[in-house]
Amino acid sequence: MNWVGANLDLVVELTLTHARLSIVPILVGFVVAVPLGVFAWRFRWARGVTLTVVGLLYTIPSLALFVLLPPIIGISFLSELNVTIALSIYAVALMTRSATEALESVDPAVRGAANAMGYSGWGRFWAVDLPLAGPVLLAGLRVVSVSTVSLVTVGVLVGSRNLGYLFMNGLQRGIVAEIATGIVMTVLIAVAFDLLLALVGRLAMPWTQGAGGGRRSRRVARRIALTEGPT
Amino acid sequence: MNLFLDALAWLTDPERVTGPNPLAERIGEHLWYTVLALVVSALIAVPLGYLIGHTGKGRQLAVLGSGAARALPSLGLLTIFTLIVGVGNAQVAAIAVFVILGVPSILAGAYAGVEAVDRSVVDAARAMGMTETQILFRVEAPLGLPLLLGGLRSAALQIIATAVLAAYVGLGGLGIYIQRGISLRTYDEMLGGAILIVLLALIVDALFAIAERVARRAIGSAPSRGRPRSERPEPLSTDRQSTLEEIR
């Protein structure tokens, strides 16, 4: 506790930077992956290729990606962009799979009913498919958010300044409290983001509270919350 | 791209066999950590997952575990455990961290595999007079094998990735090339090491993918990630489509 008191400014500064570094990949993940997911869902031929590529991407260990990415895209090895882009790649990879599964979790009978009511093509997509895919999309986004916040810490090894700094500095100086502070703050950011996303989900999809929402989409959402995650 | 040619040259240099930090030794370390941690994680997680799946109790534990494993930063766990047990025992600390990060995926796989078994199949087994243990080991466990393998696959990848960080607490493994490369600015070494790590992860991933496929074939089910044909978005005439879907 003494350590925290003496270094409060540093902890606050690193926490804010850490949160800032996490936001861009999470947003990019959502914005890029939903169209990709739609693409994989609409065109059967695209599904296999897309899902295989994203599956391979998040097989890559994070530190290896941080090292391999700069020469591939031609940026400086220590650039802050490096960590942002690498984590965006993971976010997109993870979210594309969730988005595809989200759209597939929509009950075909509902889709049939929408067709029967005269919806077609994109009209049906915006009014029926996308809202009903919402709960699974949200489950995917929450996984992306938590894992991104945690993965940012590895960036310290390639020069990114974030809460991971407390881990390496604490290790060198032998201060357990410093590392513990880093872990606690990382988890707190993850929890704060998670609660925020849950709240946004609730506001955007009021029908998911209580008994609403399909059984099937709830099952898929739970499976994503259980099993997905980059390394 | 020049950098990658340098990395390739570094990888194929005879120094990698005869010099300090020989590749075979580091790969061996990395694999050893991975296998050991995976086995220990499985010994803890599989029985627990089967218990949760079979009884349906404690699901929240599985969900909580997955959430925690994602939220806890692996580098933080690795450094704090090393400090607590002392740098001399870093190996124990590292294995403990790998196990902590490996258990939730395997638990989720074991539990989801058992839970996904059709309830009517379980009821049929019970009606045939099987005991609960027999149901678990002869019905639920074999049918849930593909999902369990999926869990082991995620755990293995998670452990391989975390073992890369083990170099930073002095444990070698393939991460040592990245660590040395960054601090000494030997980019060929750094990239060469990263390439090896990616290859290792891809190979392990592919092996598990094959095992999953074999298991699926053995129990005679279609891949669960496959898309049921009824969900093809293409327009049959609308009422025919919904009738067809009902039949399916």
Helix (H, G, I), strand (E, B) or coil at B13: coil
**Is the CB of residue A98 less than 8 Å away from at least one CB of chain B?**
no
Q: Where residue A82 sits, what CATH number does that domain have?
A: 1.10.3720.10
Best-predicted range by mean pLDDT among A96-105, A107-116, B75-84?
Answer: B75-84
* B208 pLDDT more than 90: yes
Nearest Cβ partner of B198 from A64, A146, A163? Answer: A64
CATH assignment at residue B30? 1.10.3720.10
Cβ(B153)–Cβ(B108) below 8 Å: no
Q: What is the pLDDT of residues B85-143, one digit of tens each?
A: 988 888 899 999 999 999 999 998 998 888 888 888 888 999 999 988 898 888 888 89
ipTM (interface predicted TM): 0.88
Domain residues for B24? 2-247
Distance CA B226, CA B236 (A): 21
Statement: residue B40 has pLDDT above 50: yes
Low-confidence winner among A110-124, A180-194, A210-224 (lowest mean pLDDT): A210-224
Residue of A nearest to B77 (CA): A183
Confidence of residue B54 (pLDDT cuts 50, 70, 90): confident
The pLDDT of residue B45 is above 50 = yes
Chain A 7-66, residues with CB within 8 Å of chain B CB atoms: 41-42, 44, 47, 51, 56, 59-64
Which whole number is the average pLDDT over A149-164? 93
Contact A183 B72 (CB under 8 A): yes
Indicate whether B148 pLDDT > 50. yes
For residue A166, the enclosing domain spans 2-227
**Alpha-carbon torsion (A54, A60, A65, A67), positive or negative:** negative
- Distance, in Å, from the CA atom of A188 to the CA atom of A202, rounded to the nearest integer, reads 21
pLDDT(A33) > 80: yes
Within 8 A of B161 by CB-CB distance, chain A residues are 61-63, 231
Task: Tell whether A149 lies on the interface with B, counting CB pairs under 8 A.
Answer: yes
Chain B, 184-243: which have a CB under 8 Å from a chain A CB? 187, 190-191, 193-195, 197-198, 201-202, 205, 225, 227, 230-233, 235, 238-239, 241-242
How many Cβ atoms sit within 10 Å of the Cβ of residue A121?
A: 9
**Count of structural domains within chain B:** 1
Rounded to an integer, the average pLDDT of B68-75 is: 89
What DSSP state is assigned to residue B20? Answer: S
| Number of structural domains in chain A | 1
Mean pLDDT estimate for chain A: 88
Note the pLDDT of residue A44. 82
- Stretch A207-226: mean pLDDT: 69
What confidence tier does A215 reach under pLDDT thresholds 50, 70, 90?
Answer: low
